[in-house]
């Protein structure tokens, strides 16, 4: 090759690489506000350090108080809400090692309802939520705020459908929520009211509040039984997730957004296809991390502890290597053999460097799926796991193409990829190996690596 040809080819390669680099970036939230959790590849970052956590669901914090005495501001502060009970619960959770709590930020009921009538927002209820965030901050706990419910508890989307004169209850009926213009407008208005709120205790906007871990679009959304094609591909739900996730990002560019997805699908041997495929929905550019909700010994699931661990490992693998975002096991529990199941699933979270988990659920009593302060399971299983998750992990910069981890991309990496493609064996990190960002490692990545080396 003559010098002129080489120069021309080099410019072509440089152009290709410049165009190529943005497509390799994983979705990330960045902010300069201290205490707000962001993402870097498949990790959460808190104040410059990798943040991994063990936590819980505590869905009904918003009901702490009598929920009726709201005649005066003083009534709201001393009767409608029960600050002492909120503080006690936060204190107990913190002492048990809870770092993140997931809780409901919705209800259409008259008692403690955020929105009991269409478009009418209960200021007393939002004032109570202000205090939840203040108490969480005092106890060094971060909060995932769930904005709506697919299921009927506290009204959910059935109520929003009813307000538009539409039926709910069944999956095909509920599917209308995700396309009906009135339902979407209701949801958007509620999101705007919540996300843009200013905390009346601090006069600070929610978008700057480090107590908020993420906004969650919905508890367990699905677009089920409209058609077999939709059950499998999730096109309609993905469009809704994109639309609503984009809105929240515009209102609050500082905090993360999550889906609340369960992770069920026939291919996992766990549940059925329900119009909410794990990979495709979480590939939305407006979603910052993946979620799944394993309940392995439910009658419809029938998974033993080893199978449950394998399922969790599959989700983590898809999250890290295909979706390329952090993974959170956002709900889980079992009816029986809790220690065996919990240890099996926690073991995968720890070994595979998943980012967090939240058991269902912390409460003021123990029994069934609920645990309270002092429960033996919290001491025997949760506490050791929480301690492991709290260990500091240094941020390791990811350099695409640096396959051997020596800090540079060179001929040694090219040789390593050739060997891998010949043998198809060995450990890989998709963030480093998948150079053309197509979700697989093949000869196209080898060609891309060669182009990088020629520059």
Q: Which positions are catalytic?
A: 220, 331
Burial 145-176 (b: 16+ CB within 10 A, else e): bbbbbbeeebbbbbbbbebeebebeebeebbb
> How many whole angstroms separate alpha carbon 411 and alpha carbon 426?
19
Q: Give the Å distances, CA to CA, from 75 to 67, 71, 78, 115.
A: 10, 6, 5, 20
**Burial of 199 by CB count in 10 Å (0-12 exposed, 13-18 middle, 19+ buried)?**
buried
- Structural contact between residues 94 and 141, judged by C-beta atoms closer than 8 angstroms: yes
Going from the C-alpha of 381 to that of each of 347, 422, 446, the distances in angstroms are 11, 43, 45
């Amino acid at each position: 090759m003559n010098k002129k040809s080489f120069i021309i080819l080099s410019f072509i390669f440089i152009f290709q690489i410049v165009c190529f680099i943005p497509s390799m970036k994983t979705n990330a939230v960045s902010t300069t506000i201290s205490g707000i959790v962001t993402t870097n590849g498949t990790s959460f970052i808190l104040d410059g350090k990798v943040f991994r956590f063990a936590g819980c669901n505590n869905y009904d914090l918003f009901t702490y108080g009598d929920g009726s005495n709201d005649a005066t501001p003083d009534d709201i502060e001393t009767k409608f809400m029960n600050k002492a009970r909120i503080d006690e619960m936060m204190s107990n959770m913190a002492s048990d090692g809870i770092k993140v709590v997931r809780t409901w930020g919705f209800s259409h009921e008259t008692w403690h309802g955020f929105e009991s009538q269409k478009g009418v927002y209960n200021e007393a209820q939002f004032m109570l939520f202000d205090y939840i965030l203040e108490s969480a901050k005092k106890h060094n706990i971060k909060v995932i705020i769930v904005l709506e419910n697919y299921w009927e508890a506290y009204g959910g989307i059935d109520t929003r459908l009813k307000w538009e004169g539409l039926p709910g209850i069944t999956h095909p009926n509920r599917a209308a929520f995700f396309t009906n213009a009135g339902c979407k407008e209701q949801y958007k208005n509620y999101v705007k009211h919540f996300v843009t709120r200013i905390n009346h205790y601090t006069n600070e906007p929610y978008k700057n509040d480090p107590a908020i871990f993420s906004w969650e679009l919905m508890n367990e959304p699905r677009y089920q039984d409209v058609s077999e094609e939709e059950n499998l591909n999730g096109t309609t739900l993905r469009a809704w997730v994109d639309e609503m996730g984009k809105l929240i990002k515009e209102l609050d560019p500082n905090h993360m957004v999550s889906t609340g997805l369960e992770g069920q699908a026939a291919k996992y041997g766990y549940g059925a296809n329900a119009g909410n495929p794990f990979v495709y929905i979480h590939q939305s550019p407006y979603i910052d991390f993946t979620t799944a909700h394993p309940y392995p010994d439910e009658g419809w699931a029938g998974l033993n502890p080893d199978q449950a661990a394998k399922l969790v490992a599959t989700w983590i693998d898809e999250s890290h290597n295909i979706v390329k975002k952090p993974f959170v096991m956002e709900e889980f529990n079992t009816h029986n053999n809790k220690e065996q199941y919990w240890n099996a699933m926690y073991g995968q979270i720890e070994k595979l460097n998943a980012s967090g988990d939240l058991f269902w659920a912390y409460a003021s009593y123990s029994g069934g799926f609920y645990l309270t302060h002092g429960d033996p399971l919290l001491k025997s299983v949760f506490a050791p796991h929480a301690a492991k998750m709290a260990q500091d992990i240094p941020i390791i910069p990811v350099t695409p193409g640096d396959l051997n981890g020596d800090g540079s991309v060179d001929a040694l990496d090219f040789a390593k990829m050739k060997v891998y493609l010949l043998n198809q064996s060995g450990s890989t990190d998709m963030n480093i190996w998948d150079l053309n960002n197509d979700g697989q490692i093949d000869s196209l990545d080898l060609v891309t690596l060669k182009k990088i080396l020629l520059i």
